[in-house]
Amino acid sequence: MKEFDEHGEPVKPPKKKKFSLFGGYWRDGKGVKKEDVITDYNFINFFKLYARKFTRLVWVNALYIVGNFPIFFLLLAVAGFFGKAGVAPASEVFPVINGIRVASGEFSPSMSALLGIHGAMATISAPTTATYILWGLGALVLFTFGPVNAGCTYIIKNLVKGEPVFLWQDFKATIKSGWKQSLPFGILDLLMVGLCSFSLYSYYYNYSRYYVLFYCMLIVIMLYSFMRFYIYTIMVTFDISLPKIIKNAAIFSILGFGRNFIMLLGILMLILLTGALGSVFVPLGVISIFMILFSSCAFMGMYAAYPKIKKYMIDPYYSGREEPDEPDEESGSESEPN
């Protein structure tokens, strides 16, 4: 039976809600609660704010994973899926030892011991056409890494600032407005991470010769880890050139060394905890990676970085003054997406 209003017009039934992957976060929310606005970014307030924003951080973690979907193709390629399985000696030294044995024609007890140690067989996966296709698809992460990091950084920055967050709109708007900077820096970022990892690995396995370079590389990795959080935060906050962003991030990595170092320790502890959970019960490790790992690490970095950016770049801009001998803010105009 139809219902009518006071003017005699039929009342339309309410529309059914449509399913949305990101729930109600793409619609206007209720606003920001007073207790969510942090003015003192201390150690205690970190845990309070993290607990209040935990649900949204889970959704941001999903954006990190879904946005960088090509990495799943890389994992499939590395794991040997679609490869051709075979058996070969696991040790890289075996061909040398076996070559010496064949050339000398000698089969002494010491040679037998060496062959026994280095001749253990292992299953290997030879690449196929499908493997190379997976590597090619995985390489697309070069084009998603920077924009996705920028979009998620903007959301986490608003969570730390206590501003309203509209998950999907903010993510899309940030990528759309800042891809010209985030895309090239994302490629540079991945190359830097890869080169640092390879160098550290090489110096570690040649520690007796390159121990000085090993510790130098540890310092480089630490400072670059500091810089990354400042780079993406400045990128989504100010309208300045990429070289200026990198320059300011380098200065901030030293100015906020104390906060940055504590942040890095927290990230390392979280990664170790995730690994420990995975070693005890694999599903726990997988769940923590897919739910909280990436967004929680980014939240720690933002909590350490944003107060320094606010002090030396945002506050002087709005107060109409410049801080001498501090990071260069150029025009300093904020360019946050609506």
| Integer Cα distance of 70 and 192 in angstroms | 19
Q: Say what angle helices 54-67 and 43-52 make with each other, to 10 degrees.
A: 70
Match 């040790």 to its residue by tokens. Answer: 91
- How many other C-beta atoms are found inside a 10 Å radius of the C-beta of residue 307? 18
| Integer Cα distance of 204 and 241 in angstroms | 36
For the stretch 17-25, contacts whose Cβ atoms lie closer than 8 Å and that sit 24 or more positions apart, written own/partner, are 22/59, 22/167, 22/168, 23/59, 25/56, 25/59, 25/165, 25/166, 25/167, 25/168
What is residue 82's three-state secondary structure? coil
Three-point CA angle 180, 181, 184, nearest 5°: 90
Q: pLDDT tens per residue, the chain (338 residues)?
A: 444 445 555 545 555 444 444 444 444 445 556 556 677 888 899 999 999 999 999 999 999 999 999 999 988 888 777 777 767 676 777 777 777 777 776 667 777 777 677 666 666 777 888 888 999 999 999 999 999 999 999 999 999 998 888 999 999 999 999 999 999 999 999 999 999 999 999 999 888 888 999 999 999 999 999 999 999 999 999 989 999 999 999 999 999 999 999 999 999 999 999 999 988 988 898 999 999 999 999 999 999 999 999 999 888 877 765 544 456 554 444 554 43
DSSP designation for 324:
T
